[in-house]
């Protein structure tokens, strides 16, 4: 009799545990959805994102991304911070760029080449902060891990688990872990971390770590139209040919929840 009672008690505890796990998963998805929708539904968005990437023997670099968006107009400037090391120094040079899209025309200026590209505006070519930050939707599931202090404020730590291992953005990636840090009070994403291993030169596996911190974020603050006007820097030449425009998919599973 006592054995049967103990069995029923253990079964009840197991069911409670399963229910709690399901609720946590739903809560994590809801937290991420709200964080992304806060940007998707905003009339204007502007922020500075600072992203540090390290890849073992290949070196490291830190890039600052200044993003401004108003309706279908977007402006983004990427520039290196500090001194990049190893092979990443070349990547920092190529990533030193400016993009302006006024809703009709897109321009991309590459500082390392002092050249720019121009083409008709397309939604797929505009950096989309919500998609870049969301890492989600039907392409990922979410798991609430814990809370941590970020900038002196408590934040949810949510693991983002991409569903599609064949996603081209995950090519050559192993042991991938993506964490999103969402401010408990505001429901806004404050930081993102990605770690794993990636194939390097001669097929050697390299550890990879990316840490992105979101700074000076403002929503629904007016942005002057002059921000979305492009003037080629002195001496810059227009480049023709097969160099494509950068798209918004800057993170694994960068879809919408």
Say what the pTM is: 0.77
Give the model confidence (pLDDT) of 111-121 as tens digits. Answer: 989 999 999 99
Burial of 56 (0-12, 13-18, 19+ CB in 10 A): middle
**Residues in contact with 45: Cβ distance below 8 Å, sequence separation at least 6, in sequence order:** 39, 67, 68, 69, 70, 129, 217, 218, 219
Closest CA to 28 of 132, 133, 193, 141: 141
Mean pLDDT over all residues of the chain? 79
Q: Which of 18-27, 86-95, 121-130, 179-188 has the lowest mean pLDDT?
A: 18-27
Confidence tier at 253 by pLDDT (50, 70, 90): very low
Q: Is the dihedral of CA 18, 21, 23, 26 positive or negative?
A: negative
pLDDT average, residue stretch 90-97: 85
Q: Is the dihedral of CA 42, 44, 47, 51 positive or negative?
A: positive
**Does the pLDDT at position 190 exceed 50?**
yes
pLDDT for the residue numbered 8: 46
């Amino acid at each position: 009799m006592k054995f049967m009672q103990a069995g029923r008690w253990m079964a009840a505890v197991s069911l409670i545990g399963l229910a709690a796990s399901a609720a946590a998963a739903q809560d994590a998805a809801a937290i991420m959805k709200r964080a992304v929708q806060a940007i998707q539904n905003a009339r204007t968005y502007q922020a500075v994102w600072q992203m540090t990437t390290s890849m073992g023997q290949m070196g490291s670099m830190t890039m600052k991304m200044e993003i401004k968006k108003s309706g279908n107009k977007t402006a983004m400037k990427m520039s290196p911070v500090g001194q990049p090391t190893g092979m990443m120094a070349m990547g920092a040079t190529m990533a030193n760029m400016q993009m302006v899209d006024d809703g009709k025309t897109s321009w991309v200026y590459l500082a390392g080449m002092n050249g720019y590209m121009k083409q008709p505006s397309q939604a797929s070519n505009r950096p989309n902060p919500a998609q870049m930050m969301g890492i989600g939707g039907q392409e990922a599931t979410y798991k609430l891990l814990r809370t941590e202090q970020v900038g002196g404020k408590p934040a949810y730590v949510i693991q983002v688990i991409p569903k599609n291992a064949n996603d081209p953005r995950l090519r050559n990636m192993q042991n991938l872990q993506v964490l999103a840090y969402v401010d408990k009070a505001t429901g806004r994403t404050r930081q993102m971390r990605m770690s794993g291993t990636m194939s390097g030169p001669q097929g050697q596996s390299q550890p990879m770590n990316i840490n992105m911190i979101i700074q000076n974020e403002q929503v629904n603050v007016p942005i002057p139209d002059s921000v979305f006007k492009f003037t080629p820097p002195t001496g810059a030449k227009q480049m023709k040919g097969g160099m494509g425009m950068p798209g918004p998919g800057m993170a694994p599973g960068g879809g919408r929840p």
